């Protein structure tokens, strides 16, 4: 059994990839990705799993276990692609509870609100990049070991 997957990306021509399966035929084949990068421009492809709201607890654990400074939640969320008015709404709703504000911010990031997709979508790489931008380099390096 074989399937052909057609791909086209920014700056690249359409390319077909054929997947061959031998032995028992699968009843269903699912291919998920919405983050493919060619980091070194030599056509080596890097595929990264998009996170979603089911990963919220894991993201929070990654940050808290690596001593992320939760008081910097607004800067992090701006770097992740959330708009200032979204953060203002979170701040009003959560009052002075910074941990709850961080959770709500990450939830909106995982839902891909505002311009999250412009910043790479909800992936560990985009989280790492946002942490680095905000001076949390040690946290950024540790989460990539996940």
Angle at 50 between CA 12 and CA 111, to 5 degrees: 120
**What would the mean pLDDT of 36-64 be, rounded to a whole number?**
76
Q: Is the pLDDT of residue 116 over 70?
A: yes
Q: What is the pLDDT of residue 144?
A: 74
Tokens of residue 141, six digits: 């390096």
Domains of the chain, each with CATH number or no CATH: 53-143 (1.10.533.10)
Residue 77 CB neighbours (<10 A):
27
Per-residue model confidence as pLDDT tens digits over 91-109: 999 998 999 999 999 999 9
Residues of the chain above pLDDT 70, percent: 67
Q: What is the pLDDT of residue 51?
A: 93
């Amino acid at each position: 059994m074989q399937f052909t997957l057609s791909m086209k990306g920014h700056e690249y021509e359409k390319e077909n990839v054929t997947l061959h399966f031998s032995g028992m035929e699968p009843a269903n084949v699912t291919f998920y990705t919405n983050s493919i990068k060619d980091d070194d421009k030599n056509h080596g492809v890097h595929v990264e799993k998009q996170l979603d709201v089911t990963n919220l607890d894991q993201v929070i654990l990654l940050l808290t276990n690596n001593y992320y400074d939760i008081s910097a939640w607004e800067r992090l969320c701006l770097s992740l692609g959330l708009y200032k008015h979204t953060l203002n709404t979170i701040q009003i709703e959560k009052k002075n509870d910074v941990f709850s504000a961080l959770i709500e911010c990450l939830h909106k990031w995982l839902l891909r609100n505002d311009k999250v997709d412009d910043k790479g979508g909800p992936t560990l790489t985009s989280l790492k990049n946002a942490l680095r931008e905000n001076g949390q380099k040690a946290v950024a390096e540790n989460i990539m070991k996940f």
